[in-house]
């Protein structure tokens, strides 16, 4: 009667982490964006789909083709498409039920715009008897986060008091109403204003922008409070628009909108109001806590974690884990500076600390606790580790699925490790007569010796036992990916 080893042969299940390569944009949400078939698009009269294009014949001034997408109003998306065979007329493109997007297109070319969605439709509309074609349409969610709630004032009824909308407050202007998707600031005396209150993170850099300013213009029509170490900083809009890049000094940044130069009876109209962090995130990531400790380089497709203090610094990724499930985390490290460890969440009350090396790293762990989020970053353990940084090229988070397998060990003549990721067990009387080849992940010189000794010691221990029917259940120190008998 033979003795047996019961091996937990494992294989890798699905990837549970979204965007482990730190792409700026998410997956394309458009179905049939190349118009390979006449499907998925709703067409008004005059639109047709043929030969990989959506074509409008210019038969009416206004006509549209559209597709409902799984997009979220208020999030930022990249809309990209190509216009071909242009003859005449005007085309508008947008992600909404309104008309804010790429307007007045009158030539062939590839067009691209990062746009805040105000609805769930991707729409191409002829507004002046457009005659031409559209192809190669894509819509991808951006990692950027717009912090102003509907700064385009889309869908707001004319005459609505802006202070009835989220984030707006303290209206002491003679009038602060929304008219034709613009804020009309009308004053009757000096220093009248309306406030926009935006949640911000202290120490983080932002860019404020207002796309269009008309009426009475001045270099102090807008002021932003508690930024750049100052009580207030003015925004010059005399060119018909305005912007300011600043570092937030408070958890709420207050933007004050005046009429003209804050003096007497004036009227100034504002539209396209936006505030975004300048350090744009890769798609699917959320920074936790204050500061700019996680720096996404969207050109190099890396993320760098900096231990600015002994406070843990981590990001939350799109994805979720399951309690009691094993995971294999693969991390490709571009650079390590200092000695602060990489940390990741175990689902309970603890962040697990790991010292990474440049190149490929692998971590295998079983998730515990009730939190299924994926969090990782850096944590300085003491003052000596402050200033440390870790730069990642990529990260992968895959399920490890175990599949038990019995192996007879009688007459084993030799255990060898011919390569850095295989162990061969010869179990015939003549070497090579009957072999079992075990392939494992995590190849390295140390694993090669470790794995050979592991199996050899396990077999000797089992063979020396008195119970020849015993099954010895073992879990190897690295992931077994295949077991082949020959």
Q: Are residues 192 and 258 in the same domain?
A: yes
In a domain, 61, yes or no: yes
Q: Are residues 346 and 441 in the same domain?
A: no
Q: Are residues 425 and 467 in the same domain?
A: yes
Q: d(Cα 186, Cα 123) in Å, to the nearest integer?
A: 35
Residue 264 — φ and ψ, nearest 5°? Answer: 75, -155
Query: What's the pTM?
Result: 0.70
Give the E-state strand segments of 16-130 in sequence order: 25-28, 42-43, 47-50, 53-57, 63-68, 76-88, 91-95, 101-105, 109-116, 121-126
In a domain, 7, yes or no: no
The confidence score (pLDDT) of residue 144 equals: 83
Quote the number of domains for the chain: 4
Mean pLDDT of 305-330: 92
Cβ(140)–Cβ(282) under 8 Å? no
Mean pLDDT of 53-61: 92
Mean pLDDT of the chain: 89
Collapse the DSSP code of 208 into the 3-class scheme (helix H, G, I; strand E, B; otherwise coil) and give the result: strand
Q: What is the CATH number of the domain that holds 233?
A: 2.60.120.260
What the block records as the tokens of 92 is 């508008």
Q: Which residues pair with 121 in a beta bridge?
A: 68
Q: Which residues pair with 207 in a beta bridge?
A: 245, 276
Q: Are residues 64 and 35 in the same domain?
A: yes
- Encode pLDDT of 147-192 as tens digits: 998 888 877 999 999 999 999 998 789 999 999 989 999 999 999 9
User: Residues 6 or more apart from 92 whose CB is under 8 A from it?
Assistant: 99, 101, 102, 103, 104, 105, 123, 124, 125, 127
Residue 194: which pLDDT band, with cuts at 50, 70 and 90? very high
Range of the domain at 381: 285-401
Q: Are residues 294 and 389 in the same domain?
A: yes
């Amino acid at each position: 009667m033979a003795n047996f080893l019961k091996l937990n042969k494992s294989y890798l299940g699905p990837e549970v982490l979204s965007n482990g390569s730190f792409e700026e944009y998410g997956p394309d949400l458009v179905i049939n964006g190349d118009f390979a078939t006449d499907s998925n698009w709703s067409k008004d009269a005059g639109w047709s789909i043929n030969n990989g294009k959506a074509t409008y014949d210019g038969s009416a001034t206004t006509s549209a083709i559209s597709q409902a997408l799984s997009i979220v109003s208020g999030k930022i998306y990249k809309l990209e498409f190509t216009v071909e065979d242009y003859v005449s007329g005007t085309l508008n493109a947008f992600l909404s039920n309104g008309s804010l997007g790429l307007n007045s297109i009158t030539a062939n070319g590839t067009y691209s715009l990062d746009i805040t969605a105000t609805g769930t439709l991707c729409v191409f509309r002829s507004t002046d008897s457009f005659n031409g074609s559209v192809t190669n349409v894509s819509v991808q969610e951006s990692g950027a986060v717009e912090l102003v709630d509907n700064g385009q004032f889309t869908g707001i009824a004319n005459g609505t008091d802006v202070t009835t909308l989220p984030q707006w407050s303290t209206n002491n202007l003679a009038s602060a109403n929304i008219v034709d998707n613009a804020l009309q600031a009308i004053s009757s005396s000096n220093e009248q204003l309306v406030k926009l209150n935006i949640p911000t993170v202290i120490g983080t850099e932002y860019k404020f922008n207002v796309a269009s300013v008309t009426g009475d213009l001045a270099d102090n029509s807008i002021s932003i409070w508690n930024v750049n170490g100052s009580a207030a900083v003015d925004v010059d809009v005399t060119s018909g628009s305005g912007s300011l890049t600043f570092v937030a000094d408070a958890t709420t940044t207050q933007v004050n909108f005046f009429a003209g130069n804050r003096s007497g009876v004036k009227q100034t109209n504002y539209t396209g109001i936006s505030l975004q962090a300048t350090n744009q995130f890769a798609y699917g990531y959320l920074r936790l806590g204050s500061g700019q400790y996680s720096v996404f380089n969207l050109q190099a497709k890396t993320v760098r974690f900096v231990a600015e203090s002994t406070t843990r610094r981590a990001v939350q990724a799109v994805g979720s884990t399951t309690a009691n499930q094993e995971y294999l985390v693969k991390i490709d490290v571009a650079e390590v500076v200092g000695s602060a460890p990489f940390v990741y969440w175990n689902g309970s009350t603890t962040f697990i600390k790991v010292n990474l090396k440049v190149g490929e790293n692998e971590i295998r762990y079983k998730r515990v606790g009730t939190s299924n989020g994926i969090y990782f970053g850096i944590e300085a353990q003491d003052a000596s580790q402050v200033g440390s940084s870790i730069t990642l090229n990529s990260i992968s988070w895959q399920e490890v699925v175990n599949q038990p397998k019995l192996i007879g060990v009688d007459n084993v003549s030799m255990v060898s490790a011919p390569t850095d990721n295989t162990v061969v067990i010869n179990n015939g009387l003549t070497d090579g007569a009957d072999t079992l080849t075990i392939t494992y992940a995590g190849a390295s010189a140390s694993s090669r010796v470790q794995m050979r000794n592991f199996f050899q010691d396990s077999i000797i221990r089992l063979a020396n036992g008195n119970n020849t029917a015993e099954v010895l259940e073992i879990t190897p120190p690295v992931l077994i990916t295949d077991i082949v008998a020959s």
